[in-house]
Amino acid sequence: MDEKTLKAALHDLPLGGLRFYPQVGSTNDLALAWATNSAPDLSLVIADEQTSGRGRSGRAWHSSAGSSLTFSLILHPDKSEAESASLFVGLGALALVETLDKSFGLQAEIKWPNDILLQDRKLAGILVESVWLGDALESIVMGIGVNVLAASVPPAEKIDFPAISLEEMLHHPPDRLNLLHDFLTSLLEWRPRLGEAAFVQAWEERLAYRGKQVQVWSGAETSQVGTLLGLASDGSLHLLLADGRSLQVNFGDVRLRPAM
């Protein structure tokens, strides 16, 4: 992967800018800095290797050279999108699972709020961060990491959830640039529908563990166990507790697992 091949592969997409790096600490860190320095809408930061990738709540994202697809996309929300800012993680997740289906015939699921699963193992993660100008939402930075080659999956003792790669599922190494192109195409198709009932419904239909018992931790609080019912209009999670109460789980430092 290099800047020339990237530009050729993505030439038909309306990107605002493109910055490629052979190796970075974190594409999100670079994208956040660019976003505060006049990056156009739909600017892309992509790296062949991440040495200090971040997931939610500061968790590490492992990315060895040439084995993953790791990038960050800068989006400038309009007024309507800013009112639906909590849905951007769903936008990334929905675009990715749709791409995996259309491009490879893989039925991926979304482990709320930000992980993509194949066969109940983590294939990809999404980290959405915001840039504010006073009280106004200036930019969204959507960081995505996908395990492409088998070498991208770290040893089991270094991760807290089983992982998988596209190479393992497909039995051959897929083209990272085609995957990126198809993802961006899907995201551009869904973006105008952000906040619509059809968007939330499509996200909800692809949720992992829907209708099943899950355990949810929010920060350091005691966990809750309940049946995962679906999503609210803002993308928050609905659980039905054993005592019949309904619980709405908001975004934040949240972990979700199937109940044992």
pLDDT digits (tens, 9 = 90+) for 150-172: 999 887 777 778 999 999 999 99
Measure the CA–CA gap between 31 and 258, rounded to whole angstroms.
33
Measure the CA–CA gap between 108 and 156, rounded to whole angstroms.
21
Residue 217 pLDDT: 87
Residue 56 pLDDT: 53
Going by C-alpha positions, the residue among 93, 95, 85 that lies closest to residue 131 is 85
pLDDT digits (tens, 9 = 90+) for 176-189: 999 999 999 999 99
Residue 54 pLDDT: 66
Residue 26 pLDDT: 94
Q: Taken in order 79, 80, 86, 88, is the CA torsion positive or negative?
A: negative
Q: Which helix (H) or strand (E) holds 174?
A: none
Residues of the chain with pLDDT under 50: none
Going by C-alpha positions, the residue among 191, 161, 155, 137 that lies closest to residue 56 is 161
Measure the CA–CA gap between 185 and 95, rounded to whole angstroms.
8
Domains of the chain, start order: 3-205 (3.30.930.10), 213-258 (2.30.30.100)
pTM of the model: 0.93
Q: Which helix (H) or strand (E) holds 123?
A: strand 121-133
Residue 86 pLDDT: 93
Q: Side-chain half-sphere of 114: how many Cα atoms within 13 Å?
A: 25
